[in-house]
């Protein structure tokens, strides 16, 4: 299984993994470390892309306070291009032994997508949409929390929402 991850935007955090750097709008930077045989490809949705083959590849960015979403408003974005629609593939996550400030966006079989989120370590909310991801095409995936509404969008079209 493999996927191509191009860009992630988390709240006021912008990441372009082709530069292996996370730039926060405050000017703070956090550098990521590539693991496995992850590599950078010239073709991508936005200025190159990170290629992950599904066999132990990932980028690790050390824990930062800016990545703890809590219950405030946030938005996260990734451009993904999946080469198959079988099994489960993590797009991005921050999950600890306790689910405090945790989130996980991942694809599932048949083009399904899921987002798990916990603001406090107690309740975990799951958004899901079936059959919305396509194989071999770049797609924009957004997750947003605005006030009391948590939403999942594919190519800017809302798929589902709920109140956390």
**Given the structure tokens 């990441």, which residue do they identify?**
15
Segment 143-156 mean pLDDT = 94
**CATH number of the domain within which 122 lies:** 2.60.120.200
CA torsion 153-94-117-149 (nearest 10°) is: -50
Residue 18: which domain range?
A: 3-162
Predicted confidence (pLDDT) per residue in 55-113, tens digit: 777 777 777 777 777 788 888 888 888 888 888 888 888 876 555 668 889 999 999 99
Q: Could you tell me the two tokens for 19?
A: 């530069």
Task: Tally the domains of the chain.
Answer: 1
Calpha distance 8→151 (Å, rounded): 16
Q: Three-state DSSP class for 160?
A: strand
Predicted confidence (pLDDT) per residue in 13-65, tens digit: 333 333 333 333 334 456 677 788 877 776 666 666 777 777 777 777 777 77
Q: Could you tell me the two tokens for 50?
A: 């990170």
Calpha distance 152→154 (Å, rounded): 7
- Cα torsion 26, 72, 127, 62: sign: positive
- Identify the pLDDT of residue 77: 84
Q: Could you tell me the two tokens for 52?
A: 């992950």
Calpha distance 41→38 (Å, rounded): 10
């Amino acid at each position: 299984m493999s996927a191509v991850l191009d860009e992630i935007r988390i709240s006021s955090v912008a990441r372009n993994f082709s530069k292996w750097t996370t730039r926060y709008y405050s000017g703070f930077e956090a550098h990521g470390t590539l693991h496995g045989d992850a590599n950078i490809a010239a073709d991508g949705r936005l200025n190159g892309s990170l290629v992950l083959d599904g066999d132990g590849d990932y980028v690790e960015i050390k824990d930062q306070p800016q990545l703890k979403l809590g219950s405030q408003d946030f938005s996260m974005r990734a451009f993904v291009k999946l080469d198959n629609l079988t099994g489960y593939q993590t797009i991005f996550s921050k999950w600890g032994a306790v689910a405090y400030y945790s989130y996980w966006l991942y694809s599932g079989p048949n083009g399904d997508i899921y987002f798990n989120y916990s603001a406090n370590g107690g309740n975990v909310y799951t958004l899901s949409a079936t059959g919305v991801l396509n194989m071999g095409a770049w797609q924009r995936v957004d997750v947003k929390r605005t006030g009391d509404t948590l939403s999942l969008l594919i190519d800017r079209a809302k798929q589902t929402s709920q109140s956390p």
